[in-house]
Amino acid sequence: MGDEQVIKTFYTSFQQRNWKGMLDCYHEEVFFYDPAFENLESWQVKAMWEMLVSRAQDLNISFDHVTAADGYGSCDWTAAYTVSTTGRKVVNKVKARFTFRDGKIIEHYDDFNLWRWSAQALGLPGLLFGWTPALHSKIRRLLRASLDKFIAAKAAR
């Protein structure tokens, strides 16, 4: 499967809420970064997608502008969903960049505006303070704590 097809398979699996299919597109040593979770190593990346997809109730994923050449790729994707903790609707537009090794994604970087996300997810507090490093740090701590709790619960099963 070519690199462009790997990207399409990843996001088609995401649309189908098939986190296992998403993980099949990743190299065993995958590295992930986005403005909310920041740096995640392979086992954390895999748990993050399982957590996000398995908890989603009204997740709608779209993607386009898929390109890949010479071991690198990119696409634009959008996630529309309701944040479970606030009940607020979010439409998050993301630019993804990839590096490939052995026909799989070895590096995955998602870029989006964390202020815009926080304004949608948190309402007025996110709009007023979503640009501040303090709120960014709080969002990251809460997401990482949620991921750590998910990983711990999964390990306890």
More confident residue, 126 or 118: 118
The pLDDT value recorded for residue 16 is: 96
Q: Quick one: DSSP state of residue 59? A: -
pLDDT digits (tens, 9 = 90+) for 14-41: 999 999 999 999 999 999 999 999 999 9
Residue whose structure tokens are 């711990």 = 152
Domains of the chain, earliest start first: 3-113 (3.10.450.50)
Euclidean distance between CA atoms 4 and 17, whole angstroms: 20
The answer to whether 97 and 3 have CB atoms below 8 angstroms apart is no
Q: Flag whether pLDDT at 136 surpasses 90.
A: no
Euclidean distance between CA atoms 20 and 63, whole angstroms: 19
Residues with Cβ within 8 Å of 122's Cβ and at least 6 positions away in sequence, in order, are 86, 88, 130
Type of residue at 90 = V
Euclidean distance between CA atoms 106 and 72, whole angstroms: 10
Euclidean distance between CA atoms 58 and 139, whole angstroms: 21
Q: Quick one: DSSP state of residue 106? A: E
Q: Flag whether pLDDT at 110 surpasses 80.
A: yes
The percentage of the chain sitting over the pLDDT mark of 90, rounded to a whole number, equals 76
Q: Flag whether pLDDT at 129 surpasses 90.
A: no
Whole-model pTM: value is 0.92
The pLDDT value recorded for residue 157 is: 78
